[in-house]
Structure 1
Amino acid sequence: ENILPMLERSLKRIEDSTLGQDSEEDFGGLFSDIDLASPKLGKTADDKNTLVSNVLLALDDIDFGVEASQEIDILGDAYEYMISQFAAGAGKKAGEFYTPQEVSRILAEIVTIGHARLRNVYDPTCGSGSLLLRAASIGHANEIFGQEKNPTTYNLARMNMLLHGIKFSNFRIENGDTLEADAFGDTQFDAVVANPPFSAEWSAADKFNNDDRFSKAGRLAPRKTADYAFILHMIYHLNEGGTMACVAPHGVLFRGNAEGVIRRFLIEKKNYVDAIIGLPANIFYGTSIPTCILVFKKCRKEDDNILFIDASKEFEKVKTQNKLRPQHIKKIVDTYRERKEIEKYSHLATLQEVAENDYNLNIPRYVDTFEEEEPIDIHAVMKEIKDLEAKRADLDKEIEGYLKELGLVE
């Protein structure tokens, strides 16, 4: 029988059941991207019906363990796994909505250090919400806040929350452009995590010179590289005792002009930069460029150092992707937590040292990973060359003798 009309009615009934309720906003349009008439499901109505029926029958065989005592979140984890697999195969677009779990764990661990329980956690470019969920889980956060520009991905994020058992009253995910239309006003959060789109364009309109998020830095982020616009936005929403950790391309560490002015403001005037962590190349879906994690705090003291970690060489290669394993993640987090110096891996730089480098935060300026090669004995090399030349002369004579015997030369 044709199950598709029944399924459509069921999905609509779920949405309609929240009308007039506190949860109405969280469920409104939740299934708007599900197109049961899509040709991708099959050519004919029978083909579509067969495919969807088979999926439902397969799901029916799984014990999702929805009881409260169930510790393993089968449904939520399966959903997140499918998102990650889609990201792995989706190429360049994948980075817009999914952060690899290894990177999510590092960000989540860092922002929860020093907090037994987070009041709330926020991601201004939350994608499918997986990073938010991990930070909330590790930090035992009471409330989750996020904003996502892409309507389809916004729906993914809301579904991800619900499938992971987050009550509608404990999360608020908004659809919209974070920079152009901030959904959270002057609300501040205990922890801020993000993987913003790398070097995206934004309007950089004159109106933002009077926006409290950006105005104090003295310059707006360039129109073609919005990285510092996202960073300033996140710092604005970070409370005094909180921690912010975000992923960024290495360009934010050393690019000049307006970005140089903003970077200097954050270090010299505000002393917000707490740590810079270099990650391996090729760990994000859809881009092979090396990335870094920037950690910011508002409660730093005048004599606090900036910790630089170069974790770019510690990974495991899996097919075409580089993977961070538990031991790599633990080393990064432990080094940050203990703020310790490890030769060729980490360095605590004084603010004076950073100032002497003209506020350039490029990691190789602070962490020397140069491996000295064994010294070369020139005399031994020269002797070996002379011996080889003598052997070559002897071989030339021997070959010439063979050629004469064969009558090939006179």
Structure 2
Amino acid sequence: MTTTISNPPYNMKWKHPFFAMSQSRFSFGLPPENNANYAFIQTALDKNDKAVFLLPNGVLTTSDKEEGAIRQALVENNYLEAVIQLPDKMFESTSIPTSLLIFNKHKATANIVMVDARPLAKQVERQQRGQVGGSAHTKRVYKKQINILDNDAIDQIMSLLDSPEDKEGMSKVVSIDQVKNNDFVIQPTRYISIKQEKADSSNNLKLICEDLQKISQEEAAVKLTINKKMAQDLGILGLCELLNMSADANKEINEAYKNVPDVNIDLNTDHIVTLTNNKVFKIEVKKWDKLPDIIHAFAIMWAQMSKQYNDQENVALMRLKAIMLDKYFGN
């Protein structure tokens, strides 16, 4: 059984080859020209029985019609064996969140193993030397904090792949029907149950508040003013509206908890996206009939990071609610 292991260029633009639909590798569909992620996957599976890909989390939830159809076909044909959601900030050059997707055309079961490896991450400091910018940079050593998975974490993940099981807060074995009921979204956190915290821990309450503050600050670090039609064309209009709704909800959360003992929350309430009918992005776009490649690349990465912050914020709020309910209304 042959295997491909690949970490291809992320979200790369490509050109459809001549007679693409007649090629066996595109039997599940032709990926869009603005993103080759699923082209890499299908090409590997056309030549090999197994494939392991390290790709950005956008492939797990993309709403692009062509990509969604391919993802659905891969699941329905029982090619997807496991998805491992990795911690962010694992690369020294970018903080983009990624996942490992494991494909197997000859699986023994019709299940998919979903693993969330983020709780296993450990932070380490790495030193790196500047690569460009003259001697002032190339002779300078930078220190950077990154996340890693140590040998123990890797052993835990491998154990779950070898002997799949449901583990609260970490893994879930799901059926094709379960994925179908979730619109073929293959993000592990959509299926894995949240591990409940002990409600009598004041330290947990403090940490949750700190998490919320940190996430809120990170989420508000980037503010966009964007033409509504452009946002729609880039596929981020729904996320823009969701983030603004989240900012409105933060006002209610701040008000609800402002007089609660032991809770120190001051979440961002400013809209981080302004949708306008004017031809405006955060940077000036001169060529309006065809958006520059950098805009497409930035929009994809920003959407992935913002959705991750929003998901983390929701999880932290659920943990906060559970603790508060038990603290004031529990036995």
CA distance in 1, matches of 2:22, 2:86: 35
What RMSD in Å do the two structures reach over aligned CA positions? 2.4
2:105 maps to 298
- Structure 2 residue corresponding to 1:367, chosen from 192, 203, 207: 192
Alpha-carbon displacement from aligned partner over 1:8-57 (angstroms, at most 9, x marks no partner): xxxxxxxxxxxxxxxxxxxxxxxxxxxxxxxxxxxxxxxxxxxxxxxxxx
Give the drift of 1:373.
Answer: 7.1
Partner SS, residue 317 of structure 1: strand
The amino acid of 1:311's aligned partner reads A
Partner SS, residue 120 of structure 2: coil
Mapping of residues 354-393 of structure 1, within 5 Å: 354-369=179-194, 371-372=196-197, 374=199
TM-score (ref. length: structure 1): 0.43
Give the drift of 1:383.
Answer: 10
- Structure 2 residue corresponding to 1:350, chosen from 165, 175, 179: 175
**Cα separation, partners in 2 of 1:207 and 1:382, compared to 1, 3 Å:** closer
Are 2:125 and 1:316 aligned? no
Mapping of residues 75-90 of structure 1, within 5 Å: none
Paired residues of 2:168 and 2:195 also in contact (CA < 8 A)? no
Aligned residues: 186
Partner SS, residue 307 of structure 1: strand
Are 2:86 and 1:279 aligned? yes
Give the drift of 1:206.
Answer: 4.8
The amino acid of 1:332's aligned partner reads I
1:163 maps to none
Partner SS, residue 259 of structure 1: helix
Rg larger in structure:
1
2:71 maps to 263
Paired residues of 2:44 and 2:51 also in contact (CA < 8 A)? yes
TM-score (ref. length: structure 2): 0.52
Partner SS, residue 88 of structure 2: coil
* Runs of 5+ unmatched residues, structure 2: 126-144, 203-257, 263-331
Give the drift of 1:207.
Answer: 2.5
Mapping of residues 193-272 of structure 1, within 5 Å: 193-214=5-26, 216-217=27-28, 219-239=29-49, 243-256=50-63, 257-268=65-76, 270-272=77-79
Give the drift of 1:313.
Answer: 2.2
Partner SS, residue 260 of structure 1: helix
CA distance in 2, matches of 1:384, 1:339: 42
CA distance in 1, matches of 2:183, 2:60: 11
**Cα separation, partners in 2 of 1:258 and 1:384, compared to 1, 3 Å:** closer
CA distance in 1, matches of 2:120, 2:183: 29
Give the drift of 1:310.
Answer: 0.2
The amino acid of 1:357's aligned partner reads N
CA distance in 1, matches of 2:15, 2:9: 15
The amino acid of 1:236's aligned partner reads D
The amino acid of 1:249's aligned partner reads P
**Cα separation, partners in 2 of 1:384 and 1:354, compared to 1, 3 Å:** closer
CA distance in 2, matches of 1:383, 1:357: 37
Mapping of residues 6-45 of structure 1, within 5 Å: none
CA distance in 2, matches of 1:229, 1:341: 32
Partner SS, residue 204 of structure 1: coil
CA distance in 1, matches of 2:188, 2:18: 33
Alpha-carbon displacement from aligned partner over 1:273-296 (angstroms, at most 9, x marks no partner): 000001111112322111100011
Give the drift of 1:382.
Answer: 7.8
**Cα separation, partners in 2 of 1:342 and 1:201, compared to 1, 3 Å:** same
CA distance in 1, matches of 2:260, 2:191: 41
* Runs of 5+ unmatched residues, structure 1: 1-188, 386-410
> 4+ residue stretches of structure 1 with deviation over 6 A?
381-385
Give the drift of 1:205.
Answer: 3.7
Give the drift of 1:208.
Answer: 1.5
**Cα separation, partners in 2 of 1:212 and 1:342, compared to 1, 3 Å:** same
Identity, % of aligned positions:
30
Paired residues of 2:85 and 2:187 also in contact (CA < 8 A)? no
**Cα separation, partners in 2 of 1:294 and 1:382, compared to 1, 3 Å:** closer
Give the drift of 1:341.
Answer: 2.0
CA distance in 2, matches of 1:382, 1:202: 55
CA distance in 2, matches of 1:244, 1:374: 43
CA distance in 1, matches of 2:162, 2:114: 13
The amino acid of 1:263's aligned partner reads R
Partner SS, residue 119 of structure 2: coil
Partner SS, residue 118 of structure 2: coil
CA distance in 2, matches of 1:284, 1:194: 16
Bigger RCO of structures 1 and 2 (CA < 8 A, at least 6 apart): 2
